[in-house]
Structure 1
């Protein structure tokens, strides 16, 4: 009788569904030239100066392990940048170079959460925020921020219990693209201070802000883990590089955990990243401006005539429209109909307890966006008549 390895699977793994985003990626691979509006990464390539620096590092033999916390040449300028932006105390600020910001979310939670602790985040949310606390034995608590996707302090307050330990914020947001205002950030910081909460500030999309980027970090010295990365900004999602900054006591534990998990961030990528800090050879502003125009084109195209209800995003490269009609057509059903027309996007229930909205990524060609908007409008009219 063949050995049944499925009996060995831990309950913690069984409790987590495969990412709905990855399921759509798998589907996209099977379709012929789809209009793919599901992709959560830029459609531009890594800038040539970064490619050349990575190649140079490889050719110079910089291919071995680095220190767990990262190379000093990268940490020091990043540290100066963080201290200048946040005004945090230098002697209590730790830094850690990461294999992507997703690693930072995981390491922060593993370093701070005990079984039974509660983690608050806004719904809609990035998929990891719900599942990673469970791997720590903690309890994810989603706070509904429909229909405007703004931060409502009173809703967060209502969700806090004696077991609440952490608040996770993402601005600009995945999946909504919403950017938090200064007033919202101050209100969240006040809540964190009153209740002694650690805040994870996920700022992976900070470069994709169509207005000045704002961070909660400056309001929470010693009480915030700021996560930033290179993957989205420079189109290098496969290179896996980010960094964490925050109170030294937490960063020391995250560094220790990294020794037993990721070991270190890819060495040649760390050296390549120096090019973004030490020279002016990598200017991403033309790309950001192009994405702003894409956003406007899609928002205007879908919302014309009031067909799709959209909260205009201030950043990232996502739009989170509501399926037209009175709720008779779910986002999952709407996605199924779109697939029949060779259009791919992510239904909202991947990011939410609700199945009323869907995520569009406009990180694709203008031609694909034009085709996609036209088909979505046709499907939207059908849904509205349902």
Structure 2
């Protein structure tokens, strides 16, 4: 039997102590793009998936007051009472479900991990759309789940018939993200209702990732929880209030599921940072309409600038546009060409089994967007 030291010599690439589960997924490809761009001195950055505005001052002040007021210890695992009460009032007003509890998670990413750990057994299948948020398959593989990515090209719509066709006796969960990362596409109320009823019919867990729910440009936001009272909803303050580093999300759904997720949080994340939670409480009173209006302008600006040159579906929400690389070029090759010119965008194969598209984030200043649009126009004209 080989010792750990001999195993390391035999396979120097992989340390002998590293768990097998880590071999089932790679590091985020987004980080690799950043490595490629590390030598750029003044890039046109349309890659970052976070708002370009700062945390509103009122929220900053609330967190500072909490810190100076001695609110620096652990909070209850479920979150500070005032924030939970405010969230509960908002959720009850929206849904009026007989059995719907809420707790504060360590960001929406933490909420997603807790949901997978609480509900997915090894071998269970989880359905979601391709393209997908990079974390979905990795989280599922960590807990032994089987990702089932349903192709949504070319228009990236939530097709209930495709979801139904993917259901097997091993299906445990359907994971919906609307508005979506990386496409920015918003599902219609009819699509969400059909998928919600499909999950209920087959007694499948329905998880709705709603982190971009406030970035909705052309129609009111609709949650599948409106049509299925067993839906587990994951949301937070990271994108809407530019609080990506504060780690405050929240999850609501059937009380027994919430209690199980809390049990796991107790032994993992413990709680969301307490000062951040006091900031989030203040955030609930902030009017975001001016920010949403600004992002609608940005969406329209980049859509108009790329129209006629690139194939894409107009994003109805979030702050992403997912475009097809021109001239038959693969998405990764196109992105490398763009980075060589000083434009940072993300190849679509990071979010997909296909390598045909690239993701643009229009969470940038209007000046940066104009430069990026001009660069993309020039690249298209050179390649076609």
Unaligned runs of 5+ in 1: none
2:61 matched residue in structure 1 = 52
Residue of 261, 281, 284 corresponding to 2:288:
284
| 1:238 partnered with 2:254 | no
Partners of 2:287 and 2:41 lie apart in 1 by 34
Residue of 9, 18, 37 corresponding to 1:9:
18
Residue 190 of structure 1 and its aligned partner are, at CA, apart by: 1.6
Partners of 1:28 and 1:73 lie apart in 2 by 43
1:123-155 deviations in Å (ceiling 9; x for gaps)? 010011111111111100000011111111111
Residue of 132, 145, 153 corresponding to 2:139:
132
Residue 29 of structure 1 and its aligned partner are, at CA, apart by: 4.1
Partners of 1:93 and 1:36 lie apart in 2 by 41
| 1:164 partnered with 2:171 | yes
Alpha-carbon contact 2:325-2:356 (below 8 Å) kept: yes
Alpha-carbon contact 1:143-1:155 (below 8 Å) kept: yes
Residue of 215, 218, 222 corresponding to 1:214:
222
Residue 23 of structure 1 and its aligned partner are, at CA, apart by: 2.1
2:299 matched residue in structure 1 = 295
Alpha-carbon contact 1:323-1:383 (below 8 Å) kept: no
Residue 9 of structure 1 and its aligned partner are, at CA, apart by: 1.1
Partners of 1:353 and 1:346 lie apart in 2 by 14
Q: Secondary structure at the match of 1:187?
A: helix
Residue 231 of structure 1 and its aligned partner are, at CA, apart by: 0.5
Q: Secondary structure at the match of 1:84?
A: helix
Q: TM-score, normalised by structure 2?
A: 0.95
How well do the aligned residues superpose, as a CA RMSD in angstroms?
A: 1.5
Residue of 307, 318, 321 corresponding to 1:316:
318
| 1:111 partnered with 2:118 | yes
Q: Which moved more, 1:9-18 or 1:160-169?
A: 9-18
Alpha-carbon contact 2:178-2:213 (below 8 Å) kept: yes
Partners of 1:138 and 1:311 lie apart in 2 by 31
Matches within 5 A, 1:246-265: 246-265=253-272
Unaligned runs of 5+ in 2: 9-13
1:27-80 deviations in Å (ceiling 9; x for gaps)? 444321100111000011000000000000000000000110001111011011
Q: TM-score, normalised by structure 1?
A: 0.94
Alpha-carbon contact 2:241-2:283 (below 8 Å) kept: no
Residue 366 of structure 1 and its aligned partner are, at CA, apart by: 1.2
Matches within 5 A, 1:1-386: 4=8, 6-89=15-98, 92-210=99-217, 211-221=219-229, 223-277=230-284, 279=285, 282-303=286-307, 306-325=308-327, 327=328, 329-384=329-384
Q: Secondary structure at the match of 2:334?
A: helix
- Matched residue count: 374
Q: Secondary structure at the match of 1:8?
A: coil
Residue 276 of structure 1 and its aligned partner are, at CA, apart by: 2.5
Alpha-carbon contact 1:28-1:36 (below 8 Å) kept: no
Alpha-carbon contact 1:338-1:379 (below 8 Å) kept: yes
1:183-239 deviations in Å (ceiling 9; x for gaps)? 001110121011111111000011111131111112111x21101100101111011
Alpha-carbon contact 1:118-1:141 (below 8 Å) kept: yes
Partners of 2:318 and 2:220 lie apart in 1 by 13
